[in-house]
Amino acid sequence: MGDLTRLTAADLGALIASGEASAVEVTQAHLDRIGKVDESIHAYLHVDTEGALTAAAAVDSARKIGSPLGPLAGVPLALKDVLTQEGIPTTCGSKILEGWRPPYDSTVVRKLRAAGVVILGKANMDEFAMGSSTENSAYGPTRNPWDLDRIPGGSSGGSSAAVAAFTAPLAIGTDTGGSIRQPAAVCGIVGAKPTYGGVSRYGLVAFSSSLDQAGPFARTVLDAALLHEAIAGHDPLDSTSIDAAVPPVVAAARQADVRGMRIGVVRELSGEGYQSGVETRFAEAVELLNSLGAEVVEVSCPNFDYAMAAYYLIAPSEASSNLARFDAMRYGLRVGDDGTAGVEEVMSRTRAAGFGPEVKRRIILGTYALSAGYYDAYYGSAQKVRTLISRDFDAAFAQVDVLVSPTAPTTAFPIGDKVDDPLAMYLQDLCTIPSNLAGNCAMSVPVGLAPEDGLPVGLQIMAPAMADDRLYRVGAALETALRERTGQLLIEGAPPL
């Protein structure tokens, strides 16, 4: 049967359902590979060997007694360490939560369990999802399987690296400003941010509540769609969850046909600051879509120029409030409780010791933006920009079915390159942020390697809220065409570890 870790999730699911491979076998193959290569990648913060094998065995037993298995039953997955899983350490990449084992499952985890998905462990991330490189993890950086000296993207860098390193066929990430799409792009895999409200946030440790959304990583568009479908849907525990049918993403991925679609290229998401190889591969992919029967037009979204500024006010503001609860009282780290120190001192010392520099920076920034006297100029104005960006999207989607752009302006940069320059780091999210602000859905699909550095380039597809199926239709069409051209998925050409 060959190496089980090289197969797609769809194929693994089929093998397990038919009994040609057992879930335990599949799980063990991935655990073995983690043992072999994760030391050099550091995608995982915690590997739940026992729990994974138990879950896999349960799938095998279910099959034996003839219970119907879903398409992902027995398929292994890496879970970003920002989602709670009962009894399993959840750190959010932060020292402040070291050792915390949540007493409850997130809705995403509950749905994964129901689908029979085997959770291998918790994936590394930038602390509290703040970052674009996973260098902000308190537990050390994750490395890009294409080049171990480079970043795997972030904040879901552990998730993207696990999938790209073949230590998991699937992973869950979260995307607040691009944290699924940018790591997918720089690791040469598929990543999708569902429509805000499409996937429950219950149990997702909040960074920026109005922007956060969990979504799938996979090596193929169909695999991503299968995972998307497994975790999406209305959840009464999340007030912002949309009570509507999940868009038909799997059918769309199988359809893989862009004939008759109108595709808009966003004029503002190109030019200065974009690596030339990124622009080259992007232009070729757009050309390919055109050749596949899509009508391609240029579209202008003038307010996208203000998206990053708005994002770096809204996200830190919400974060400053969301992260207040890490106060040493009910869970997590406590520093300085010597019996005489007052509660305020213990809180302040704990937070100073437990949070890393980027988290502190954003908490201070958010605290400032929400302060009396500054609120209107900063937070209030940012919320208005949000309206303008939504209007730009509305106008664009009146003309086209989807919008496209590069996912990130550059390929994976070397570890350490931007750690001292927060603003340079923030530019990584230039193209991805508008969809978060508007609550739309978007996806990154690999479209080739940049000629100058041989690293993966991603193309971003953006669609209106609850039109997630369009992402999968376009993404799958592109993937199929590129695969026909090269004979394999881009990630299959990554250097062996």
Window 87 to 126, contacts with another protein (CB under 8 A): 90, 92, 97, 100-104, 106
Give me the catalytic one of 94, 106, 160, 179: 179
Active site residue 155: yes
Contact pattern for another protein over residues 346 through 375, marking x by CB under 8 A: xxxx-xx--x----xx-xxx-xx-xxx--x
Pick 338 or 484: Cβ nearer another protein: 338
Interface region with another protein, contact rule CB under 8 A, candidates 130-138, 165-173, 339-347, 441-449: 339-347
Residue 427 neighbours by CB distance under 10 Å: 16
Q: Which of 422, 453, 480, 481 binds another protein (CB under 8 A)?
A: 422
Could you give the angle at which helices 107-114 and 221-231 cross, rounded to 10 degrees? 110
Q: Is residue 111 among the annotated active site residues? A: no
Structural contact between residues 310 and 437, judged by C-beta atoms closer than 8 angstroms = yes
Q: Which of residues 186-215 bind another protein (CB under 8 A)?
A: 196-197, 201-206, 208-211
Q: Positive or negative CA dihedral for 30, 35, 37, 38?
A: positive
Catalytic residue among 94, 132, 133, 155: 155
Contact between 321 and another protein (CB under 8 A)? yes
User: Which residue blocks in 232-356 are alpha helix, DSSP H?
Assistant: 249-255, 276-291, 307-322, 343-354
In the complex with another protein, the residue whose CB is nearer, 143 or 351, is 351
When the beta carbons of 81 and 223 are compared against another protein, the nearer one is 81
Near another protein by CB under 8 A: residue from 233, 390, 480, 483: 390
Q: How many residues bind another protein (CB under 8 A)?
A: 96
Q: Does 329 bind another protein (CB under 8 A)?
A: yes
Angle made by CA atoms 321, 323, 328, in degrees to the nearest 5 = 125
Task: Choose which of 438, 447, 450, 490 interacts with another protein (CB under 8 A).
Answer: 438
> Taking CB under 8 A as the rule, does residue 378 contact another protein?
yes
Asked if 437 interacts with another protein (CB under 8 A), we say yes
379 binds another protein (CB under 8 A): yes
Q: Interacting stretch for another protein, rule CB under 8 A, among 138-146, 292-300, 380-388, 469-477?
A: 380-388
Pairwise CA distance, residues 259 & 251, whole Å: 16
Is the Cα dihedral 430, 433, 435, 441 positive or negative? positive
Comparing CB distances to another protein, the nearer of 261 and 370 is: 370
Which residues ranging from 65 to 84 are in contact with another protein (CB under 8 A)? 83-84
474 near another protein, judged by CB under 8 A: no
Q: Please, what is the minimum distance in Å from the beta carbon of residue 480 to another protein?
A: 32
Packing angle, helices 468-486 and 276-291, rounded to 10: 100
283 three-class SS: helix
**Least distance between another protein and beta carbon 338 (Å):** 9
Residues whose CB falls within 8 Å of the CB of residue 49, separated by 6 or more in sequence, listed in order: 31
In whole angstroms, the minimum distance from the beta carbon of 317 to another protein comes to 6
Q: How far is the CB of 362 from another protein (least distance, A)?
A: 9
* Distance of alpha carbon 270 from alpha carbon 409, whole angstroms: 8
Query: What span, in angstroms and rounded, lies between the C-alpha atoms of 173 and 141?
Result: 16
Compare residues 105 and 223 and give the one whose CB is closer to another protein.
105
**What is d(CA 376, CA 369) in angstroms, rounded to the nearest whole number?**
9
Instruction: State yes or no: residue 242 binds another protein (CB under 8 A).
Output: yes
Q: Tokens 């994976």 identify what position?
A: 412
Q: Tell me which of 75, 186, 292, 382 binds another protein, using CB under 8 A.
A: 382
| DSSP H or E stretch at residue 457 | strand 456-463
Q: Which residue has the tokens 């491979």?
A: 21
Q: Give me 204's structure tokens.
A: 């997702």
Residues numbered 286 to 315 that lie near another protein (CB under 8 A) are 303, 306, 308-310, 312-313
What's the token pair of residue 144? Answer: 């890009």
Residue 186: closest CA among 495, 411, 425, 460: 411
Which is it for the CA torsion 484, 486, 487, 488, positive or negative? negative
46 touches another protein (CB under 8 A): no
- Residue 282 vs 306, nearer CB to another protein: 306
The maximal CA–CA distance of the chain, rounded, in angstroms, is: 73
- Is 384 known to be catalytic? no
Name the minimum Å distance from CB 306 to another protein. Answer: 6
Give yes or no for a contact between 190 and 444, defined as CB atoms under 8 angstroms apart.
yes
- Which sequence positions are flagged as catalytic? 80, 155, 179
